[in-house]
Structure 1
Amino acid sequence: MPAILDIELIRTFHAVARIGKFSAAAEQLHKSPAAVSVHIQRLEAVAGGRLLNRDNQAVSLTALGKRLLLSTTELLSTHDRVLADLHGTRLAGRITLGVPDEYADHVIRDILPTFAAAWPNVVLELRTAPSYALRDQVQREKLQAAVIARPKELPDTESLRLTSTTPVWVGPINSVIASTQPLPLAVHAAQCPYRQAMVEALKQCARKSRIVLESPSTQAVKACVEAGLAISLIDRARVTDKMQILDDLPRVPEHEVVFIRAQASHADEAVNLLSRAMQQYFRL
C-alpha cells in the first residue's frame, strides 16, 4: 500500500517548523507535547528520514525537512481552500484588523488574499500603526484584532503566538559607527516595542545617543542604516546584505509576534478563522 501524507501530521510539522519549539507548537495546536512528537515521528516514517534537528532549546529543519516544508505549503493552502469553498459563502461579516508597518507587507501579500478568496463574504478593513497603539485599540474595542510585536511574556489566553523574533543592533556594512559618541539612532515611532527596547538598553549602559531619524516606516529606518547615517534595532531575520550586526551594544531580549483580539470578538467565527490563517501562514 503506498504511503499517504496525512494533513494533520503536515499541519503539526508546519507549526513546529514555524515556532521552533515542540512545547509552544503543542500549545498552539491544543495538543500535548507527546502527541506532537508522535505526529512528527509518524511523518518522518512516511518521509523516510529525520525532518528536524532537536536540542534542549529549539529545533531546526534538516535538508529533508526544508524540502518537505517547501513542497507541502501549497498542499496545506489548497486543502484549506477546498474546505472553504464548500462552506465559505455561508459566512459573512466584517473584520477590522491592525498590523504594524514591519509586518504589513507579509500579511497583506501572503495571508489575506488566501483568506479573502476562501471567505468572500467577509469584509476586511486594515489599519497600520505601531504595535502598542494597535494593542490599545484592540483593548478599547476600536479594532477586532491585531498582529503586534512585544517582549516575550508568559503564555496567556488572550493572545496567539505566531513566531519569536530576535532583535539585533545593526549598522552600515564595513563601518565603526557604533563606537562614536553620541550614537546616531534611526528609531521607530512612539509606541513601538523596539523603540522602547533601544532606549532602555542604552539607558542601562549609560550610552549617549541622538536621534537622526524618527519614522513609523520600517523601510525608512532600514534605508537610514544602509546609507551609513545611523544604527538601529531590527529583527535578525530582516538584516540585509548592506548591514552588519553590532555585537558591542547591549543585548536586547527576544520578542514575539502575537495575534490579539478584542474581548467581544471571541465568539466571532470570522475572526476565529482569521486567527487560524495567521497561525498557519505567518512567516518571518
Structure 2
Amino acid sequence: MNAPLDLDQLQTFIAISDTGSFTKAADTVFRTQSAVSMQMRRLEERIGKPLFEKDGRTNKLTEEGERLLSYARRLLRLSRETLAAFDESQLEGQVRIGTPDDYADRFLPEIMGRFARSNPRIEMSVICEPTLNLAELVRRGQLDLALVTQCDDVNVTEIVRREPLLWVTSASHAVHEEPVVPLAVGRPTCQWRRSATETLQRSGREYRVLFTSWSATVVIASVLSGLAVSVLPECALRPGMRVLGEADGFAPLPDCQIGILRGHTGQRELIDAVARHITESLDNITAPAADEHAFDFAALNGARSKRLRPGQVMPGW
C-alpha cells in the first residue's frame, strides 16, 4: 500500500457517506453512477477492506469505512488549504464573527486556526455575546456572521451541529441531592434555562435559581465549586464535572442545536466561504476526550461524536 490515495476517489467516498446513496453522490460529484461505483471498487481494492454495506435502500459505512472517513475528510481539507496557500486570487478583506462564549473555547481555536492558515489575507474579528444579542447585531449589519443556539426567539434555518444538552454538577460535591435544586443558568430569555426549568417542573422537582449570568465562566465556576447544578452542551463540559441522568432524578433534556446566522453586508462570497469553513470544522470536532470505556457513539449531524453517559465524571485533558 505504498501508492498514494486518489483524492477524487476520497471526495466521492465522502459524498456517498454524506448522502447515503451512490446515485445522489453521483449528482454531487458530477459523475455517472457507474463511474462512482468504479471509483469505490478501486478505492476498496486500494484499502484492501470493504467500505460499504447495504442497509435497506441506503449504503452504510462498514467499520473500516468509518475509519477511512475521518482520514478522507482531513486529506481533502489539507488539499484545499494547500491550494489556497498558493492561490493568487484568494479571498481577502475583513469579516466580523460572533459566538456565545459557551462555544468559544471549544470551537474557535479549530475554526480560526484552519481559516487563518488557508486564508492569510482575511482579517477576522470575533466578539462573544449571547445568542439574542448576536442575532440583533447581525440584523443591524454589525456582524457578518454568527454561530448561535437555535431557540424560540431566533429562528436559525442553517443548523450545522447538534449536541446533547446535559445536566452537570460538581464531581466533588452532592449539591444535586438537595431537596430544592440550586441552579446556575443564563438570563430568563436563555433557551437552556427554559429547558432546565420546564424539565424540572414536569418531573415535579423543586428548584431555585441561585446564579444568573450570561457568562459561561460564571456558570461553570458555580458548578465546579459545588454551589449549583446547571445545563451545558457537551462541548462546554470541563474537568471535574459529573453528568447527571434519570438515576439521579434529572430527566433528559432536548438536544442543543447550533446554527449559523448570515448578515447582509455585501460580502456574500466571503461570508459563504467562512460559513462553509465553520461547517467543515465543526464536522471534525468531537466531544472532549475521556476514558474510552465511558462513551457511547452517536451520529450528530453527519459526524460521529462521543457522548458521555450519565454519571460519568469529566477527567482532565
What TM-score do the two structures reach when normalised by structure 1?
A: 0.74
User: What is the aligned partner in structure 2 of residue 260 from structure 1?
Assistant: 261
User: What is the aligned partner in structure 2 of residue 87 from structure 1?
Assistant: 87
Superposed CA offset, 1:134-188 (max 9, x none): 1232233221111112259xxx9x7433221111112222654333232111113
User: What is the aligned partner in structure 2 of residue 216 from structure 1?
Assistant: 214
**Higher helix proportion:** 1
1:113-132 aligned at under 5 Å gives the runs 113-132=113-132
Tell me, yes or no, if structure 1 residue 167 matches structure 2 residue 168: no
User: What is the aligned partner in structure 2 of residue 110 from structure 1?
Assistant: 110
Residue 232 of structure 2 aligns with an amino acid whose one-letter code is I
Cα pair distance change 1:108/1:38, threshold 3 Å: farther
> How far apart in 2 are the matches of 1:274 and 1:235?
23
> How far apart in 2 are the matches of 1:255 and 1:40?
37
User: What is the aligned partner in structure 2 of residue 233 from structure 1?
Assistant: 231
> How far apart in 2 are the matches of 1:15 and 1:163?
20
By relative contact order (CA 8 Å, sep 6+), the higher-ranking structure is 1
Residue 207 of structure 1 aligns with an amino acid whose one-letter code is R
Cα pair distance change 1:241/1:103, threshold 3 Å: closer
User: What is the aligned partner in structure 2 of residue 251 from structure 1?
Assistant: 252
User: What is the aligned partner in structure 2 of residue 47 from structure 1?
Assistant: 47
Q: Is the 8 A contact 1:189 1:215 kept in 2?
A: yes
1:1-284 aligned at under 5 Å gives the runs 2=3, 4-7=5-8, 9-10=10-11, 13=14, 22=20, 46-49=46-49, 62=63, 65-66=66-67, 69=70, 71-72=71-72, 74-87=74-87, 89-150=89-150, 159-173=157-171, 176-189=174-187, 191-240=189-238, 242-247=240-245, 248-264=249-265, 268-282=268-282, 283-284=285-286
Cα pair distance change 1:124/1:238, threshold 3 Å: closer
SS of alignment partner, residue 212 of structure 1:
strand
SS of alignment partner, residue 149 of structure 2:
strand
- Stretch moving more, 6-15 or 96-105: 6-15
Superposed CA offset, 1:97-136 (max 9, x none): 1111121123431121321232233222211111232123
> How far apart in 1 are the matches of 2:16 and 2:193?
29
> How far apart in 2 are the matches of 1:218 and 1:140?
25
- Stretch moving more, 192-201 or 98-107: 192-201
Percent of paired sites with the same residue? 22
SS of alignment partner, residue 161 of structure 2:
strand
> How far apart in 2 are the matches of 1:31 and 1:150?
31
Superposed CA offset, 1:29-48 (max 9, x none): 9689xx8x979966555433
SS of alignment partner, residue 251 of structure 1:
coil
Rg larger in structure: 2
Cα RMSD of the aligned pairs, angstroms, is: 4.0
Superposed CA offset, 1:81-101 (max 9, x none): 222123355432221111111
Q: Is the 8 A contact 1:131 1:193 kept in 2?
A: no
